Amino acid sequence: MTRDSLSETAQRVLRLNDTGKFTKPSPRQYPHQWNWDSAFIALGLAHFDLPRACVEVQSLLSAQWRDGMVPHIIYPTAASDYFPPPEFWQTQNLPYAGNVQSSGLTQPPILATIVRMMHDRVPSLGFTREVYPRLLAWHRWLHTARDADGTGLPCLIHPWESGMDNSPLWADALDRVTPTNLPAFKRRDMIHVAADERPLGPDYERFVHLIDLGRRLHWEPRALLGQMPFLVQDVLFCSILHRADEDLRALAIELGEETHEMDAWLAHTRAVFDARFWDDTQGLYRDYDVRVSEPIRVNANAVFAPLFAGLASPAQAARLVADHFDNPSEYAPDGDSSFRLPSVAKNERGYSARRYWCGPIWIQMNWIIAEGLRRYGFTAQANAVVRDSLALIEQSGFREYYDPRDGSGCGATDFCWSAALALEMLAQQDISTPMR
């Protein structure tokens, strides 16, 4: 595929999944609207249809709950073969929920970063002014309603909130969850995707059990913090939020709004981040299991996310790159893998090259990591990640994830954030860099 045809096909994938108001992540596997998918999709759309990109953001925010949460799945359209269906969440008629049917969970808050990128490229004060208060309310909700320990670091109550739904990061915390009185349900995620690329049965039961607990607590934030057995502070989520706080602050300045709320969040996160997440022995960041007050000792590629947020010192960044990014036993290519960046270090116990979030490469993680590497001056490494991402897409099309060994595609097809971020990477890439 040439660059031109790659860009044309990417646009075609976004159009194929376009319902007019929101874009499905993929035609069959994900037929509704997903939170961070829509943000990445808006960034892609902005390259060729800015008004439509704005509609994508508006439709996502129109599902915002009254308390500020922006939900992870939004069901603007009716029936589909997706499980869980809208009514399964039991979010209707809650006084703090929104007017559009949705899940009771949230997802990584990358939206303010995307809105800032859109605004910096094509200033649109009207649109930015319209969405700014909603973004602010979401960030406020994350720093307060999900703050369990006064650090302001939001807690996740379900693995699906991390966006890395089936990562080995969650294995120990899920082991402590015993599904009891499981509601009747039928998995639908293996209709369109092979079973060995999807979560194992016992894990899926725990995902459903946690939804059941959440709905019994009516998704009420204090009750969730107090009672959900899964309660985690996640490096990727907190890094994305910190970067988005920075970007929200920049938007506030553009709009002539006050910034002290964001200043406080930024200072607070900076003050607690290392003590909570940095493991100086291994030279990487570790998620934190709030329920047992212990770090989660699993090396997933989210360890690089603090670079995206500017939260690492130059010395920490150098260790991340030398000891982990460039390490062939973990993330660098070797005899067992040809492409960057496996979602889990190859020498981790839970690593599995094709299973959902247990090893395959995800394009949105690659984009976040490349942006972070660039921010710290690791230009060659950033370019290598972008080059590999485009090579995977050229070879295997716009798939949901890719096998790091041979680059073959896994999961859903015609997958939108792979298309949207290909457009972004193509636009950013040095024109002189040859495609391989």
Interface contacts to ligand GLC, rule CB under 6 A: 25, 30, 34, 36-37, 163, 165
Write down the least CB distance from residue 25 to ligand GLC, Å: 4
Cβ closest to ligand GLC, residue 36 vs residue 277? 36
Adjacent-strand bridge partners of 232: 156, 289
Cβ closest to ligand GLC, residue 198 vs residue 374? 198
Cβ closest to ligand GLC, residue 197 vs residue 247? 197
Write down the least CB distance from residue 377 to ligand GLC, Å: 29
Contacts of 326 (CB under 8 A, 6+ apart): 332, 381
416 closest CA partner among 54, 59, 29, 1: 29
Neighbour-count burial of 250, counting CB atoms closer than 10 A to its CB (0-12 exposed, 13-18 middle, 19+ buried)? middle
- Helical ranges in 145-234 per DSSP H: 171-175, 201-216, 221-227
Write down the least CB distance from residue 71 to ligand GLC, Å: 12
DSSP 8-state symbol, 172? H
CA distance 40 to 225: 29
DSSP 8-state symbol, 321? I
CA distance 249 to 255: 10
Active-site annotation holder among 189, 234, 400, 414: 400
Question: In what helix (H) or strand (E) does residue 409 lie, and over which residues does it extend?
Answer: strand 409-410
Write down the least CB distance from residue 74 to ligand GLC, Å: 12
Write down the least CB distance from residue 135 to ligand GLC, Å: 19
Cβ closest to ligand GLC, residue 39 vs residue 386? 39
Active site residue 8: no
Adjacent-strand bridge partners of 33: 74
277 closest CA partner among 308, 232, 342: 232
Is there a cis peptide before residue 342, judged by omega within 30 degrees of 0?
Answer: no
Cβ closest to ligand GLC, residue 73 vs residue 228? 73
Hey, what's the torsion of the CAs at 131, 133, 134, 137, to 10 degrees? 160
Active site residue 400: yes
CA distance 272 to 136: 21
Write down the least CB distance from residue 30 to ligand GLC, Å: 5
Write down the least CB distance from residue 317 to ligand GLC, Å: 25
Cβ closest to ligand GLC, residue 44 vs residue 163? 163
Write down the least CB distance from residue 222 to ligand GLC, Å: 26
Cβ closest to ligand GLC, residue 163 vs residue 306? 163
Cβ closest to ligand GLC, residue 30 vs residue 230? 30
Count CA atoms within 13 Å of residue 323 on its CB side. 16
Active-site annotation holder among 49, 130, 165, 254: 165
Write down the least CB distance from residue 311 to ligand GLC, Å: 22
Residue 331 phi, psi (nearest 5): -120, -20
Cβ closest to ligand GLC, residue 45 vs residue 266? 45
DSSP 8-state symbol, 322? I
Tokens coding 154: 């939001």
Contacts of 202 (CB under 8 A, 6+ apart): none
CA distance 241 to 239: 5
363 closest CA partner among 386, 379, 333: 386
Contact of 330 with 290, CB cutoff 8 Å: no
Counting every residue, how long is the chain? Answer: 436
Neighbour-count burial of 85, counting CB atoms closer than 10 A to its CB (0-12 exposed, 13-18 middle, 19+ buried)? middle
Catalytic residues: 165, 400
